[in-house]
Structure 1
Amino acid sequence: MRNEMMHRPVIDPDVLAFLRQDQQPLSGDLKKLEEHAHAVGNPVIPHETVNFFRVLLKVARPQSILEVGTAIGFSALLMAQNTPASTKITTIDRFDIMIKHAQANFKKFKMTDRIQLLQGDAADILPTLQPSYDFIFLDSAKAKYIDFLPYCLNLLSDTGILLIDDVLQGGTVLQPIEEIKHRHKNIHRNLNALFETVFHDDSLVSSLIPVGDGLLMITKK
């Protein structure tokens, strides 16, 4: 479950270190969970993305959130702690080991009443959900982003925000496909198809943000 691309920064290493080490830290049990995840290599969003979320969520104040890719539940807990108590979060994951960790963390943080974990493949679950969500965080299989995009846009409210994580593949997404390792070619093709689709859709407004391994932010025009 390790993301090797997180160790291939797309910005200056000194700037990256500043973003990850000098920005406002988390506190309490969530800080401990973040530190443990980094220590053991669990896939969680990096700290510069954490702080971006904290500000964005305080401004957006979403009432309904959808997350695709729960992992150990860190980002869902972060979103819960930085939104109103009335905000409901639905998160999807298909890996049993991650589901087990996430459920334990949601219980530990007393967030089971606000966070609903749906177990199964997002390709099967997304078509069954009903609009609309104010905030959607897509952080799952990178090769599937282009397939999940239409469902996410359909589920997104007219004023909602869609965030898609890890879209730069350590900068390799910009390289010719001939230079890409065979096991990454499908991801490379589909991420470029995602950019082509989003950047040329006149009904969308998007911004590519170089935090973590690249964060694509999309809203409806």
Structure 2
Amino acid sequence: MNAKIVDQHVECYVRSLLPEHTGLLKVLEQFAKLHNVPIIHPEIAQYMSVLLEIAKPTRILEIGTAIGYSASVFASHMKRGHIDTIELNAIMAEKARETFEDLNKSVPEVSLSIHLGDAKDVIKTLEGPYDMIFIDAAKGHYQTFFETAYDLLSKNGIIVSDNVLYKGMVATDDYIVKRKITIVKRMRKYLEFITTHPNLETTVLTMGDGLAISYKKGILNE
């Protein structure tokens, strides 16, 4: 299913402008394509690369590891620091561990810890603060992930939520697939929550499958 977020000609043109990855990132892209593993879109990877260079986070929490692709993008643009990443699927987590072993050879100043389990439970065992939280897991649980992790985010920290327009279905009922109605309703609720939250400044970008960037101005319920 096409994402229906950006005109295909525009998307292809934008992607043609992106630098081509080499090394581990290229290998992971090929693996993901061969095994049909979803990873962040090329333009999202480039956006995150630029954001990391600007924000310069040293501690990141990622919710949804998969094969470790996005965490590898993050680590590649950190001079030093630590990434905690959470994955529910044991097979994916094992692949990510292999990824991080290879990654450590090129970015030894960035350590990565993968936590196997349900993010709602794992988050409660972690210690902040984190400069950035990246949410890319079960789409119907974004608000739960957010509310559980929010207090671990440093003041002036950033939360990035991927796939928030979900194939365009979040924007219009015209695109909704019946079996996805619950996910769409929950994502709409989540977007309303983060765009009206008094302690956040949030923007929603029409790139990839939709990306929300939230800047923390204060403390929840302050």
TM-score, normalised via structure 1 length: 0.90
State the identity as a percent: 33
Structure 1 partner of 2:220: none
Query: Whole-Å Cα distance in 1 between the matches of residues 36 and 104 of structure 2?
Result: 24
Structure 1 partner of 2:16: 21
Which one of the candidate residues 196, 199, 222 is aligned to 1:200? Answer: 196
Q: SS at 2:170's partner residue?
A: helix
Q: SS at 2:104's partner residue?
A: coil
How do 1:67-216 and structure 2 match up within 5 A? 67-84=62-79, 86-110=80-104, 114-176=111-173, 180-216=176-212
CA RMSD of aligned residues (A): 1.8
Shift of 1:202: 1.9
Range 34-43 or range 202-211, more displaced: 34-43
Kindly report structure 1 stretches of 4+ aligned residues shifted beyond 6 Å: none
Shift of 1:98: 0.5
Consecutive unaligned residues of structure 2, counting only runs of 5 or more, are: 218-222
How do 1:4-83 and structure 2 match up within 5 A? 4=1, 7-83=2-78
Consecutive unaligned residues of structure 1, counting only runs of 5 or more, are: none
Query: Whole-Å Cα distance in 2 between the matches of residues 39 and 46 of structure 1?
Result: 15
Query: Whole-Å Cα distance in 2 between the matches of residues 19 and 33 of structure 1?
Result: 21
TM-score, normalised via structure 2 length: 0.90
Q: SS at 1:174's partner residue?
A: coil
Aligned partners of 2:85 and 2:115 also within 8 Å = yes
Counterparts in 2 of 1:147 and 1:182: CA distance versus 1, 3 Å: same
Aligned partners of 1:70 and 1:91 also within 8 Å = yes
Shift of 1:193: 0.6
Query: Whole-Å Cα distance in 1 between the matches of residues 63 and 132 of structure 2?
Result: 11
Query: Whole-Å Cα distance in 1 between the matches of residues 52 and 68 of structure 2?
Result: 17
Shift of 1:30: 1.5
Range 157-166 or range 16-25, more displaced: 16-25
Shift of 1:114: 0.6
Q: SS at 1:18's partner residue?
A: helix
Shift of 1:67: 0.2
Structure 2 residue identity aligned to 1:27: T
